[in-house]
Structure 1
Amino acid sequence: MDNRSTLVPMVIIGVLFFIFGFVTWLNGSLIPFLKVICDLNEFQALFVTFAFYIAYTVMALPMSFMLDKTGYKNGMAIGLGVMVVGSLVFIPAAQSASFAMFLLALFILGTGLTILQTASNPYIVLVGPIESAAMRISIMGLINKSAGVLVPLLFTAVILSDIGSLENLSNETKESLSSRLIIPYIIMAAVLTGLIALVKYSSLPEIEFEKDEHSDKSSIFQFPRVVLGATALFFYVGIEVIAGDTIGLYGQFLGLKNFTSLTSFTMIFMVFGYLIGVLFIPKYLSQEKALISSALLGILFLFGVVYSSADSSLVSELLWGWSGIRTLPDTVTFVALLGFANALVWPTIWPLALEGLGKYTAQGSALLIMAIAGGAILPLVFGKIAHVSGDMQSTYLMGIICYSFILAYAMKWHKITSWKMH
């Protein structure tokens, strides 16, 4: 694609990234909500993230082969159609207040997003110079996380508007609350249906590759930078979901009011991080250095989560007390700050991993998308440790493992071109 034709793809993919954010970060509000409605513990509630994100692992490679057959543009329309089905399954789930049905709906939504993500991320990487790909992905991240800021606030306003407390609710009240999900998901299905037409009949160009590129390669697993990039993304998505989706549970654990809206604070900090990517990459900050800085900041903020106070709001006051936004306990503020550390990880790993893949781009993208399984598995590990130990605050230290792998990829692994030892 040439630089003069970037506007249409950026606008269309931008709309899709808003949808990604809206659907994905709705989980942060659904987790504590379904915990109450379906009488779950912390470990059981985090099966919301498992059902949603495991779809990426199960479906990514099959979807990459589908994209080879249908093309990226038609594939995105198919992905939106699958998401329509997932949205509609929420209707019987809400009517029955069945946790199993909710999990099925989330898996179907995750499957649709798998197709969309596998197709759309290479568009953003390849639509311009590889050196500035992280900047373009950061723009998409701003759009994505803006939806992430908005959706918990909308969820709280629409679903919980006249509910004082979610504690000790009667069965009748729980059933009534569950049924409130029906109209929002009908609206979501209608919007997604409209987007199918937008993508299908747009002038979005198809990505084309030379057929003889990498004729010496027979498998995507022969590209170390992709395999290791997927490993780093596995740990990244895990800690990103922990930061965004457990902050509500943590706030509930601490007895904070409006805990279903706390995901918005993590998203706000991610937006700030993406702004840095847009403004500074690649002119002032290389993709590698941005990734190194992100990993180091993540480790620093994790220590802040574990060793700061649940009673003090000093850090929160320093950060945004001037703005009139209500302050949070310091330990919760550091969980939200993980959003800032996480913001540039996804935008920087993708171009580093996909560079020079040519005809293997779809499979490389699928492998990276499969790594989103980190969002299914690591939050469950987090939930199990927190449930068994009874100490959610210290459990956040498991994130150090995640940031250590990201740091290793940023410093060395992305430069490896062969599995052979030299």
Structure 2
Amino acid sequence: MYPTVSRQPKRQYYLSLALLGCLFFIFGLVSWVNSILVPYFKVACELTSGVQTYLVTFAFYIAYLVMTVPASYLLRRVGYKRGTLIGLWIMAAGALLFWPAALTRTYGMFLTALFTIGTALAILQSVANPFVTIIGPHESAAKRISVMGICNKFAGIIAPLLFAALVIRPEDRQIMQMAESGLLTGSALETALDEMIRGVIVPYVSLAALLFLFGILFYRSPIRDINPDRDNQTSAGNDADRRSVWQYPYLVLGVAALFAHLGSQQISVSTIIGYAQSMGMSLDAAQVFPSYTLACILVGYLSGVILIPRRITQQQSLVICTILGLLLSVLVLVLPEKASIWSLVLLGIPNSLIYAGIWPLAIRGLGRFTSIGSSLLVMALCGNAVLSLLYGVMTDHMSLQASYWLLLPCFAYMVFYALYGYRIEKW
């Protein structure tokens, strides 16, 4: 398991938590805005299929699969603090790419920008998650992760609303409605969409400047650098005879559980605006649903901070949340549409503590394989990309509500891991 950095002064400990909280806030701000980028780009870039539309999510999260292992090598070479600086500056570069993408209204360039931001997050998640686990006692790791989750999901609550307020002006909403209804065509449509899409330039350029400055602040802060590989190089983990990280079944099964969790959570948040619009709601009315979902997640995180480990253990909370998630997924499918959307919103409550429950159970006792194990868990964030795109494919062939059956196998597997999979020590 990770060593803890518990001997540091309290002031430094709380400063570390505060800056890590800022990192998780940034993660939420740039990640959860995708839920409104999906319908926004659908109109602005004239996308015609579900697959095209959900390439926004795919391009963003597939970077975790492609770039996490290179990120782990980068962190070994430059250290965690310098790695954080590099990650934030790469994210700033991705935000700046929105400028030329908007000027040319090129969907491929927007996807490149989102992949660049995802690459930065692959580096930053590889730093932040181990740091949160290491910085205090292992038995309260889920509690600290819950605190970080509050920062992340609070950003997620305001991100769609902030984007809508800063980018989608009243005239833009009118353009979107006219474009979707076919009232705007030809050169008039092209001119209107060109003007609309340029609304992203100022917010994303401003974000790039803030990321650049925060990178410098974090690097120059008194936070103690960490190096799990160095600290664990003499430890073989639970068993000295294991020669590969793949010989830890509970880790491998945990990676799959995290993949299923993150993908299903992304589906419940990023698709809910389209689901609401399919019932006849306007974008103004539909855009608040991701914030409702993330508010439920925030409630779940607050309960985790209060209850773990004082009232229930990490594993017990994982069992409760996965079973509740499975039941709500069934309700999404069987209830009438206007009721089922609220089951989708309520999925935020069990989704809140699943990540915090899986991570400590999967990463425990890995010894010198801790760093690569952490990288594998971070790679599981590509579940956001794969399952969202799969949902997009399904919506091209069946109703939006029927496509949510994809949630059932995800939650069923998470129930298996919570009850049994985490205890498997040998294949």
TM-score, structure 1 as length reference:
0.92
Partner of residue 15, structure 1: 22
Deviations for 1:184-218, whole angstroms, at most 9, x for unmatched residues?
00011001001111111011112241421116443
CA distance in 2 between counterparts of 1:228 and 1:80 reads 31
* Structure-to-structure mapping, 1:392-403, within 5 angstroms: 392-403=400-411
Q: Which whole-Å CA distance do the structure 1 matches of 2:425 and 2:217 have between them?
A: 39
Post-superposition CA distance 1:65-98 (Å, at most 9, x none) = 2111211111111111110110111111111111
Quick one: distance in 2 between partners of 1:220 and 1:61?
14
Q: What is the aligned partner in structure 2 of residue 380 from structure 1?
A: 389
Q: 1:28 aligns with which of 5, 25, 35?
A: 35
Which residue of structure 2 aligns with residue 323 of structure 1?
Answer: none
2:261 partner amino acid: Y
Residue 96 of structure 2 contacts residue 208 of structure 2 at CA under 8 Å; is this kept in 1?
Answer: yes
Equivalent of 2:276, from 224, 227, 251?
251
- Matching residue of 1:318: none
Shift of 1:43: 2.2
* Residue-by-residue CA offset, 1:160-185 (whole Å, 9 max, x unaligned): 23134422332222111100000000
Displacement of 1:116: 0.2
Runs of 4+ in 1 over 6 A off after TM superposition: none
Aligned position for 1:319: none
Q: Secondary structure at the match of 2:365?
A: coil
- 1:354-393 mapped onto 2 (5 Å cutoff): 354-389=363-398, 391-393=399-401
1:411 alignment counterpart: 419
Q: What is the TM-score when the length of structure 2 is the normalising length? A: 0.91
Aligned: 1:37 with 2:56 = no
TM-superposed deviation, 1:357? 2.2
Q: Which residue of 2 aligns with 1:197?
A: 216
Q: Residue 33 of structure 1 contacts residue 260 of structure 1 at CA under 8 Å; is this kept in 2?
A: no
C-alpha deviations, 1:22-43, integer Å up to 9, x for none?
0000100100000111111222
Asked if 1:6 is matched to 2:13, the reply is yes
**Is the 2:168–2:199 Cα contact (8 Å) retained in structure 1?**
no
Q: Which amino acid aligns with 2:54?
A: L
Indicate conservation of the 8 Å contact 2:330/2:408, yes or no.
no
For 1:418 and 1:192, the matched residues in 2 are separated by: 44
TM-aligned CA deviation for residue 260 of structure 1: 3.0
Aligned letter for 1:90? F
Q: Which moved more, 1:279-288 or 1:260-269?
A: 260-269
Which of 299, 310, 313 is matched with 2:326 structurally?
299
Give the equivalent residue in structure 2 for 1:272: 299
Which one of the candidate residues 114, 118, 124 is aligned to 1:116? 124
Indicate the residue corresponding to 1:289 in structure 2: 316
Contact 1:29 1:261 (8 Å CA) reproduced: no
Q: Distance in 2 between matches of 1:54 and 1:83?
A: 15
Match of 2:290 in 1: 263
Choose 294-303 or 23-32, whichever is displaced more. Answer: 294-303
**Out of 319, 339, 354, which is 1:345 matched to?**
354
Q: What residue number does 2:339 align with?
A: 330
**RMSD, aligned α-carbons:** 1.4
| Pairing 1:45-60 to 2, within 5 Å after superposition | 45-60=53-68
Distance 2:168 2:191 in 1: 15
Instruction: Extract unaligned runs of 5+ from structure 1.
Output: 311-328
- Asked if 1 retains the 8 angstrom alpha-carbon contact of 2:232 and 2:370, the reply is no
Structure 1 CA distance for aligned equivalents of residues 60 and 301 of structure 2: 24
Structure 2, unaligned stretches of length 5 or more?
180-188
Partner of 2:178, secondary structure, is coil
Q: CA deviation at 1:292?
A: 1.0
Partner of 2:110: 102
Q: 1:222 offset after TM fit, Å?
A: 2.1
Whole-Å separation in 1 of the counterparts to 2:358 and 2:218: 26
Alignment of 1:58-73 (within 5 A): 58-73=66-81
- Number of aligned residue pairs: 400
Task: Determine the C-alpha separation between the residues in 1 that align with 2:105 and 2:343.
Answer: 34
Q: Measure, in 2, the Cα distance between the counterparts of 1:131 and 1:152.
A: 34
Cα drift, residue 413 of structure 1: 1.3
What SS does the corresponding residue of 2:311 show, helix, strand or coil? coil
Shift of 1:354: 1.3
Q: CA deviation at 1:6?
A: 2.5
Corresponding residue for residue 127 of structure 1: 135
Q: Distance in 2 between matches of 1:81 and 1:158?
A: 23
SS in 2 for 1:344: helix
Displacement of 1:392 in angstroms is: 0.6
Partner secondary structure for residue 6 of structure 1 = helix
In the other structure, the counterpart of 2:244 is 219
In the TM superposition, what is the alpha-carbon distance from 1:294 to its structure 2 partner?
1.2
Q: Residues 311-334 of structure 1: CA distance to partner in whole angstroms, max 9, x if unpaired?
A: xxxxxxxxxxxxxxxxxx322211
Cα 1:72–1:359 change in 2 (3 A) is farther
Q: Give the Cα separation in 2 of the matches to 1:44 and 1:253.
A: 18
Contact preservation (8 Å) 1:119, 1:362: no
Alignment of 1:61-210 (within 5 A): 61-163=69-171, 164-165=173-174, 166-169=176-179, 170-208=189-227, 209-210=231-232
Q: Deviations over 1:127-152 (max 9, x none)?
A: 11111111110010011000000011
Task: Quote the offset at 1:283 in angstroms.
Answer: 0.8
Alpha-carbon contact 1:152-1:262 (below 8 Å) kept: no
Identity %: 38
- CA deviation profile, 1:258-313 (whole Å, cap 9, x unmatched): 22332111111100110111110011111111111111111111122122223xxx
The answer to whether 1:228 aligns with 2:247 is: no
Asked if structure 1 preserves the Cα contact closer than 8 Å seen for 2:25 and 2:154, the reply is yes
Inter-partner Cα distance in structure 1 for 2:217 and 2:426: 41
Aligned-partner Cα distance in 2 for 1:304–1:217 = 43
For 2:222 and 2:367, how far apart are their aligned partners in 1?
Answer: 23
- On the 8 A contact 2:233/2:368 being kept in 1, the answer is yes
